[in-house]
Amino acid sequence: MVDRILVIGSSGQIGTELVEELRTIYGNENVIASDIREPQIAQNGPFEILDILNKVQLLEIVEKYNVKEVYLLAALLSATAEKNPSFGWDLNMNSLFNVLNLAKDKVIDKIFWPSSIAVFGPTTPKENTPQYTIMEPSTVYGISKQAGERWCEYYHEKYNVDVRSIRYPGLIGYKSKPGGGTTDYAVDIFHQAILSNNYECFLSENTTLPMMYMSDAIKATINIMKADSSNIKIRSSYNISGMSFSPKEITNRIKKYIPGFSISYKPDDRQKIAESWPKSINDQHAIKDWGWSPDINLSTLTEIMLENLKQLLPLEN
């Protein structure tokens, strides 16, 4: 039997697109999707209902399919975790321990676990934020990601666990909906531009954040996992960068295609979270160690999002 891949939290924003790409590369039957909820799109390979907090169920599925690689995507994101800090901590940490321990016990060989720009906090330098810098996250989500990074490095150093990680910025795609983050506005704005020609934004107009088009995030994920282990010098998590923009800047881009589009601003609790995060990211280590480079800039992203959502949205509603 060939080694197989398990994606945990596969029905979410990233999992929906990652499973599709992994199946194209490794074959439909070799990529097992799993989540506590049904997938957003029809599956062309195995799907299992799995609660990552249930260690017995996790081991059963890993053994059933002879899984050797795990992509752990299940988490509460920044805004959702602030509403339920205790459960956010529980899910984000114990999901990681359950998977790290499978690798420590040699049941699986390799793990991908995403961190986030949320590991940085209000005291971090905001422009061109370095890989190594002050990290005092102020959200439960950021605290859980920072602790997770330390545990990944610890398991690598102490138990030789092959765990690889990326600090994703805000991710934008048209194939799946975001799951409760502070950067979700950058997806919603495209939906509302097409559906109603206006958008009420929960961040203020000049709030600049690091962002990335989903295909670049998937490319980074697959490339860091394919890289030779000796090239992965950082076992906490790598900075990666795509683009940075504010609500005002993305609005101006959308207006080039939809001149009547208008935006209003009503900042809520997420504004404070956004203000605690970097504006732009220095990713020189990812470039040097495993050849990272993004393909999509703001102008291309805007074209792709509007073109595809114009086709999809009338069908959904």
- How many C-beta neighbours within 10 Å does residue 8 have? 26
Q: Contacts with ligand NAD: how many residues (CB under 6 A)?
A: 29
Give the nearest distance from C-beta 32 to ligand SER in angstroms.
Answer: 25
Per the structure block, which two tokens stand in for 18?
């990652």
Q: Does 242 bind ligand SER (CB under 6 A)?
A: no
- Name which of 11, 109, 18, 114 is nearest 67 in CA terms: 109
CA distance 74 to 225: 18
Q: Which of 116, 144, 207, 236 binds ligand SER (CB under 6 A)?
A: 116
Report the partner that residue 146 touches, choosing among ligand NAD, ligand SER, none (CB closer than 5 to 8 A by kind): none
CA distance 67 to 100: 14
| Beta-strand relationship, 209-213 and 243-245 | antiparallel
CA distance 173 to 190: 10
Give the nearest distance from C-beta 316 to ligand SER in angstroms.
Answer: 22
Report the partner that residue 73 touches, choosing among ligand NAD, ligand SER, none (CB closer than 5 to 8 A by kind): ligand NAD
Q: Which of 8, 143, 201, 306 binds ligand NAD (CB under 6 A)?
A: 8
Q: Which of 6, 32, 52, 77 binds ligand SER (CB under 6 A)?
A: 77
Q: Does 140 bind ligand NAD (CB under 6 A)?
A: no
Q: Does 142 bind ligand NAD (CB under 6 A)?
A: no
Give the nearest distance from C-beta 277 to ligand SER in angstroms.
Answer: 8
Residues 168-197 binding ligand SER (CB under 6 A) are 170, 181-183
Q: Contacts with ligand SER: how many residues (CB under 6 A)?
A: 10
Using only C-alpha atoms, the chain has a radius of gyration, in whole angstroms, of 19
Q: Does 9 bind ligand NAD (CB under 6 A)?
A: yes
Catalytic residue among 71, 141, 174, 185: 141
Q: Does 5 bind ligand SER (CB under 6 A)?
A: no
Give the nearest distance from C-beta 197 to ligand NAD in angstroms.
Answer: 25
Q: How many separate helices (H) and strands (E) can be counted in the chain?
A: 11, 14
254's CB contacts (< 8 A; 6+ apart) are 189, 190, 193, 261, 302, 306
Give the nearest distance from C-beta 260 to ligand SER in angstroms.
Answer: 29
Q: Which of 4, 12, 67, 208 binds ligand NAD (CB under 6 A)?
A: 12
CA distance 36 to 162: 26
**Which one, 67 or 152, has the nearer CB to ligand SER?**
152
**Which one, 161 or 209, has the nearer CB to ligand SER?**
209
- In this structure, what is the dihedral angle of CA atoms 170, 174, 177, 182, given to the nearest 10 degrees? 20
CA distance 31 to 34: 10
CA distance 87 to 26: 34
**Which one, 30 or 116, has the nearer CB to ligand SER?**
116
Residue 141 known to be catalytic: yes
Report the partner that residue 182 touches, choosing among ligand SER, ligand NAD, none (CB closer than 5 to 8 A by kind): ligand SER
Strand order in the sheet with 209-213: 170-172, 209-213, 243-245
Active site residues: 141
Q: Which residues bind ligand SER (CB under 6 A)?
A: 77-78, 116-118, 141, 170, 181-183
